[in-house]
């Protein structure tokens, strides 16, 4: 039976580290860390995420600046706001909540965020830096996964690591981070043949496909570390991951639950990135 990786506990310790450091910056340098969060429209899930990000800012002693824009905001208006925030010294990090309404091109907006304030690490400059291993910010979800793996004491070097999913936000950067730690990395996706066979070779299995119960226990190697990035809402309203927990936990050595696994880490890593941004912008990192 697997040990459960407690994402809430690990995220609390990350947030505590950030809080302590932010307090030190305030006391010793008179610096207050600030995060701007921009949301366009009324997507209910985005609303929940943005509220959680604001609460996390308060908890670690950051200032948060929320810009809740109307669904009909034009791309130009949004770009104008991003440019104002790029120049605002109180704002160390800028996060534009995705998805954006259909009439706004996400890529154009992401490209407009100053890479130094891009705490999501979505800007092409930051994506490129991750590729060459010279990064200030890591994208929040993969960074959270790395921290969860570290919390188990598992060494990544030389291990067979399988990532299922190839999104720009999770799968691709996840593969890079595992590679930087000298894992032997395989990236699987919807066209992959022999998925079960490949998964059965994984010492570390990271699943980010967005399909409920996609990975079942018969695909998990005995003793594997299983990280479930999925967050699927079932018809009955229940949250469930991409991994069928009951069967997978019988095989894994460590496994993340949903909820309470990767989810809480993402916001904690966002706070960490914002702190890093503030330090860098003030010549302290």
Q: Is residue 278 at the binding interface for ligand GUN, with CB under 6 A as the rule?
A: no
The per-residue b/e assignment along 185-222, b for 16 or more CB within 10 angstroms, e otherwise, is: bbbbeeeeeebeebbbebbbbbbbbeebbbbebebbbe
Per-residue binder mask for ligand GUN (CB under 6 A), 37-76, x = binder: ----------------------------------------
The strand order across the sheet containing 63-69 reads 63-69, 34-40, 93-96
* CA angle at 15 for the pair 10 and 16, rounded to the nearest 5°: 95
The DSSP output letter for 283 is T
Count the residues of the shown chain that bind ligand GUN, applying the rule CB under 6 A. Answer: 6
Residues linked to residue 35 through DSSP beta bridges, in sequence order:
64, 93
Give yes or no: 9 in active site: no
Nearer to ligand GUN, 119 or 200 (CB): 119
Contact yes or no for 8/144 (Cβ under 8 A): no
Spatial separation of the C-alpha atoms in residues 152 and 179, rounded to whole Å? 18
d(CA 211, CA 4): 21
Tell me: does residue 276 bind ligand GUN (CB under 6 A).
no
Q: Which of 118, 120, 203, 242 is catalytic?
A: 120
- Binding to ligand GUN by residue 112, rule CB under 6 A? no
| Contact (CB, 8 A) for 233 and 199 | no
Neighbouring C-beta atoms of residue 254, cutoff 10 Å: 21
Task: Tell me if 96 contacts ligand GUN by CB under 6 A.
Answer: yes
Work out which of 120, 181, 203, 242 binds ligand GUN, going by CB under 6 A: 120
Footprint (CB under 6 A) of ligand GUN, residues 139-198: 140
The verdict on whether 235 is a catalytic residue reads no
As measured in angstroms, the least distance from the Cβ of 139 to ligand GUN is 7
98 binds ligand GUN (CB under 6 A): yes
Q: Which is nearer to ligand GUN, 96 or 176 (CB)?
A: 96
Q: Which stretch binds ligand GUN (CB under 6 A): 92-100, 210-218, 242-250, 275-283?
A: 92-100
Measured from the CB atom, is 168 or 182 closer to ligand GUN? 168
Of residues 96 and 229, the one with the C-beta less far from ligand GUN: 96
Tell me which of 95, 177, 200, 265 binds ligand GUN, using CB under 6 A.
95
| Cα separation, 200 vs 197, whole angstroms | 5
Backbone angles phi, psi at 95, to 5 degrees: -125, 120
Handedness of CA 163, 164, 168, 169 (dihedral sign): negative
Q: Does residue 53 have an active-site annotation?
A: yes
Site residues for ligand GUN per CB under 6 A: 95-98, 120, 140
């Amino acid at each position: 039976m697997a040990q459960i990786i407690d994402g809430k506990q690990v995220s609390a310790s990350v947030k505590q580290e950030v809080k302590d450091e932010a307090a030190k910056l305030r006391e010793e340098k008179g610096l207050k860390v600030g995060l701007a969060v921009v949301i366009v429209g009324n997507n209910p899930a985005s609303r929940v995420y943005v509220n959680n990000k604001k609460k996390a800012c308060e908890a670690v002693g950051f200032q948060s600046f929320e810009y809740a824009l109307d669904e009909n905001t034009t791309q130009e208006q949004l770009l104008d706001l991003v440019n104002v925030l790029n120049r605002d010294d109180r704002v160390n990090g800028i996060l534009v909540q995705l998805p954006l309404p259909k009439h706004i091109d996400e890529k154009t907006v992401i490209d407009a965020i100053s890479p130094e304030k891009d705490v999501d690490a979505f800007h092409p400059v930051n994506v490129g830096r991750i590729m060459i291993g010279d990064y200030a910010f890591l994208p929040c979800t993969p960074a959270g996964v790395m921290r969860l793996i570290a919390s188990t004491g598992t060494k990544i070097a030389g291990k067979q690591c399988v990532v299922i999913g190839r999104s720009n936000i999770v799968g691709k950067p996840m593969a890079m981070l595992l590679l930087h730690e000298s894992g032997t990395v395989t990236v699987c996706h919807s066209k992959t043949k022999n998925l079960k066979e490949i998964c059965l070779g994984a010492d570390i299995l990271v699943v980010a496909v967005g399909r409920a119960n996609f990975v079942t226990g018969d695909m998990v190697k005995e003793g594997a570390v299983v990280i479930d990035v999925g967050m699927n809402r079932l018809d009955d309203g229940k949250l469930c991951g991409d991994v069928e927990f009951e069967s997978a936990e019988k095989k894994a050595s460590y496994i993340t639950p949903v909820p309470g696994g990767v989810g809480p880490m993402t916001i904690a890593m966002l706070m960490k990135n914002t702190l890093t941004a503030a330090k860098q912008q003030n010549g302290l990192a």
